[in-house]
Chains A and B, each alone.
Chain A
Amino acid sequence: MLTNFVIIPILVAVFLYLFPLNKSARFLALLAQLGLTAAAFWLFLETRQGEIFLSIGSYHSVLGIYLRADLLSAMFIFLTAIFFLVATIYSFHEDFGRLFWFLMFIWQAALIGIFLAADLFNIFVLMEVSAVIVAVLIMYNRLKRSMYDGIIYFAVNIILMQFYLFGLGYIYRLTGTVDMYLMSERIHAYHYNYLMLPYAAIMTFIALKCALVPLFAWLPKAHGSAAAPPAVSAILSGLHIKSTIYLFIRFQDLFELVASTQFFLILGIITGVFGFVMAIAQTDIKLILAYHTISQVGLIFTALSIADATYLGGFTYSFVGGLYHIFNHALFKGGLFLSAGVLAAAYGTRNVYKIRGVFRAYPVIGAATAMAIFGIIGAPFFNGSISKYFMVSDADTLLNGVLIFMSLGTIVSFVKYSNILFGKPELPEDAPRKLPILQQTMVLLMGVLCFLSGIFGVQTIQFLFDITVYIDLWGYIEKTLIFFASLAVGVLIYKYYVKESAFLKRIKNVEMGFRTMVFSIGAFFTTILLVVGVFYQP
Chain B
Amino acid sequence: MRVELAELFAVIMFFISFYGLIVTRNIIKSVIFIIIMEAAAIMFFLSIGYRSGILAPIGPNLAEVESWAYIADPFPQALMITAIVIGLSVTTILLIMTITITREYKTTDWDTIKIRSLEK
Q: Is the CB of A169 within 8 A of B41?
A: yes
User: Which residue of chain B lies nearest to A131 when distances are taken between CB atoms in the complex?
Assistant: B90
B45 to chain A, nearest CB (A): 4
Q: Is the CB of B110 within 8 A of A515?
A: yes
Once the chains are docked, how many angstroms separate the CA of A154 from the CA of B83? 17
Partner among A176, A178, A522 whose Cβ is within 8 Å of the Cβ of B22:
A522
Partner among B22, B42, B89, B105 whose Cβ is within 8 Å of the Cβ of A515:
B22
Q: Is the CB of B79 within 8 A of A121?
A: yes
Contact string, B89-120, partner A, CB cutoff 8 A, digits 1/0? 11001100110110011000011011001100
List chain B residues, Cβ under 8 A from A67.
none
Contact string, A122-160, partner B, CB cutoff 8 A, digits 1/0? 001100100010010000000011011011001100110
List chain B residues, Cβ under 8 A from A158.
34, 38, 90, 94
Contact string, A163-174, partner B, CB cutoff 8 A, digits 1/0? 001101110110
Q: Is the CB of B86 within 8 A of A128?
A: yes
Question: B76 at the A/B interface (Cβ < 8 Å)?
Answer: yes
Q: Is the CB of A162 within 8 A of B93?
A: no
Once the chains are docked, how many angstroms separate the CA of A162 from the CA of B42? 9
User: Which residue of chain A lies nearest to B43 when distances are taken between CB atoms in the complex?
Assistant: A169
B106 to chain A, nearest CB (A): 11
Once the chains are docked, how many angstroms separate the CA of A511 from the CA of B116? 12
Number of residue pairs A-B, CB distance < 8 angstroms: 100
Question: B1 at the A/B interface (Cβ < 8 Å)?
Answer: yes
A200 to chain B, nearest CB (A): 13
Q: Is the CB of B93 within 8 A of A135?
A: yes
Once the chains are docked, how many angstroms separate the CA of A148 from the CA of B113? 8
User: Which residue of chain B lies nearest to A191 when distances are taken between CB atoms in the complex?
Assistant: B1
List chain B residues, Cβ under 8 A from A63.
75
Q: Is the CB of B101 within 8 A of A165?
A: no
- Given the interface pairs A125-B82, A147-B100, the reply to whether A165 lies near B41 with Cβ below 8 Å is yes
User: Which residue of chain A lies nearest to B17 when distances are taken between CB atoms in the complex?
Assistant: A162
Question: A436 at the A/B interface (Cβ < 8 Å)?
Answer: no
Once the chains are docked, how many angstroms separate the CA of A81 from the CA of B110? 38
Q: Is the CB of A515 within 8 A of B21?
A: yes
User: Which residue of chain B lies nearest to A193 when distances are taken between CB atoms in the complex?
Assistant: B1
Tell me the residues in window 25-70 of chain B with beta carbons closer than 8 Å to chain A beta carbons: 25, 27, 30-31, 34, 37-38, 40-42, 44-45, 48
User: Which residue of chain B lies nearest to A129 when distances are taken between CB atoms in the complex?
Assistant: B86
List chain A residues, Cβ under 8 A from B44.
166, 169-170
B116 to chain A, nearest CB (A): 8
Most buried by B among A144, A169, A515: A169
Q: Is the CB of B75 within 8 A of A514?
A: no
List chain B residues, Cβ under 8 A from A519.
22
Question: A270 at the A/B interface (Cβ < 8 Å)?
Answer: no
Most buried by B among A154, A170, A173, A509: A173
List chain B residues, Cβ under 8 A from A150.
97
Partner among B21, B45, B98 whose Cβ is within 8 Å of the Cβ of A165:
B45
List chain A residues, Cβ under 8 A from B73.
176
Q: Is the CB of B114 within 8 A of A159?
A: no
- Given the interface pairs A125-B86, A173-B48, A518-B22, the reply to whether A162 lies near B41 with Cβ below 8 Å is yes
Q: Is the CB of A159 within 8 A of B98?
A: no
Q: Is the CB of A155 within 8 A of B34?
A: yes
Once the chains are docked, how many angstroms separate the CA of A490 from the CA of B20? 46
Question: A181 at the A/B interface (Cβ < 8 Å)?
Answer: no
List chain A residues, Cβ under 8 A from B117.
144-145, 148
List chain B residues, Cβ under 8 A from A463.
none
Contact string, B1-36, partner A, CB cutoff 8 A, digits 1/0? 100000000000010001001111101001100100
List chain A residues, Cβ under 8 A from B22.
515, 518-519, 522
List chain B residues, Cβ under 8 A from A423.
none
B27 to chain A, nearest CB (A): 8
User: Which residue of chain B lies nearest to A509 when distances are taken between CB atoms in the complex?
Assistant: B118
Once the chains are docked, how many angstroms separate the CA of A521 from the CA of B6? 25
Q: Is the CB of A514 within 8 A of B79?
A: no
List chain B residues, Cβ under 8 A from A173.
48
Once the chains are docked, how many angstroms separate the CA of A132 from the CA of B86? 10
Once the chains are docked, how many angstroms separate the CA of A522 from the CA of B17? 12
Partner among B24, B83, B90, B101 whose Cβ is within 8 Å of the Cβ of A151:
B101
Q: Is the CB of B18 within 8 A of A522?
A: yes
User: Which residue of chain A lies nearest to B21 when distances are taken between CB atoms in the complex?
Assistant: A518
Once the chains are docked, how many angstroms separate the CA of A55 from the CA of B69? 27
Q: Is the CB of B97 within 8 A of A151?
A: yes
User: Which residue of chain B lies nearest to A169 when distances are taken between CB atoms in the complex?
Assistant: B45
Question: A194 at the A/B interface (Cβ < 8 Å)?
Answer: yes
Q: Is the CB of A513 within 8 A of B110?
A: yes
- Given the interface pairs A514-B30, A515-B110, the reply to whether A128 lies near B90 with Cβ below 8 Å is yes
List chain B residues, Cβ under 8 A from A509.
118
Most buried by A among B90, B104, B113: B90
Once the chains are docked, how many angstroms separate the CA of A214 from the CA of B73? 39
B86 to chain A, nearest CB (A): 5
Q: Is the CB of B104 within 8 A of A147?
A: yes
List chain A residues, Cβ under 8 A from B37.
159, 162
List chain B residues, Cβ under 8 A from A194.
1
Q: Is the CB of B94 within 8 A of A178?
A: no
Once the chains are docked, how many angstroms separate the CA of A176 from the CA of B75? 9
Q: Is the CB of B94 within 8 A of A172?
A: no
Q: Is the CB of A515 within 8 A of B98?
A: no
Once the chains are docked, how many angstroms separate the CA of A144 from the CA of B58? 51
A153 to chain B, nearest CB (A): 10
Given contacts A155-B31, A166-B40, could you give 6 more A-B pairs where the C-beta distance is less than 8 Å?
A144-B104, A151-B27, A155-B94, A159-B18, A159-B21, A165-B41
In the complex, the 4 A-B pairs of residues with the closest C-beta atoms, listed nearest first: A169-B45, A165-B41, A148-B117, A151-B97
Binding site for A on B (CB under 8 A): 1, 14, 18, 21-25, 27, 30-31, 34, 37-38, 40-42, 44-45, 48, 73, 75-76, 79, 82-83, 86, 89-90, 93-94, 97-98, 100-101, 104-105, 110-111, 113-114, 117-118
- Can you report 5 residue pairs joining A to B where beta carbons are below 8 Å apart? A151-B101, A159-B18, A165-B41, A170-B44, A522-B18
